[in-house]
């Protein structure tokens, strides 16, 4: 069965969740995390997306980003995923399954963002 199309709304903040395959760890150490952030920065600059917040968990990543054009989030996540998987897979053969699974995406209204920022929730 085909996957449903993702929401792709330029100018609307989107919550992106990226998980490791089988919920395995995405990051083994701080070097992995720094490399991911460097690749994310390059992808953000290349696609014009704006990053508002991020959380790097052991087995998944949360991003709050606003795309400036249709398809920008997909291109950003593809760039990060394609480049990030190569480094750790070379250094650790057991981590070859580290490739990310599907990203989840949800649009967030700007009203709820401001409410969360000012209400402390």
Residue 31 located in a structural domain = yes
Q: Quick one: pLDDT at residue 46?
A: 97
Q: In 21-71, where does DSSP find H-type helix?
A: 30-47
pLDDT in tens, 14-23: 999 988 888 7
List the domain range (segments joined by +) for residue 91. 14-119
Domain count along the chain: 1
Nearest-angstrom CA–CA distance, 16 and 10: 14
Residue 40, domain member (yes or no): yes
Q: Return the ∠ at Cα 55 (arms to 68 and 117), rounded to 5°.
A: 70
Element (H, E) at 18: strand 14-20
CB 106 within 8 A of CB 13: no
Domain CATH for 62:
3.30.70.1290
Residue 8 lies in a domain: no
Instruction: Tell how far CA 101 is from the center of its chain.
Output: 11
The residue ranking higher by pLDDT, 109 or 24, is 24
pLDDT digits (tens, 9 = 90+) for 55-98: 999 989 999 999 999 999 999 999 998 888 755 555 554 444 44
Q: How many CB atoms lie within 10 A of CB 77?
A: 23
């Amino acid at each position: 069965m085909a996957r449903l199309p993702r929401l792709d709304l330029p100018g609307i903040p989107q919550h992106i969740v990226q998980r490791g395959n089988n919920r395995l760890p995405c990051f083994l150490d701080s070097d992995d995390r720094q490399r991911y952030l460097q690749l994310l920065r390059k992808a953000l600059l290349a696609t014009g997306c704006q990053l508002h917040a991020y959380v790097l968990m052991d087995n998944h990543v949360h991003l709050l980003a606003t795309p400036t054009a249709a398809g920008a989030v997909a291109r950003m996540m593809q760039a990060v995923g394609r480049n990030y998987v190569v480094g750790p897979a070379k250094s650790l053969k057991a981590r070859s399954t580290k490739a990310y699974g599907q990203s989840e995406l949800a649009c967030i209204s700007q009203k709820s963002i401001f409410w969360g920022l000012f209400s402390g929730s």
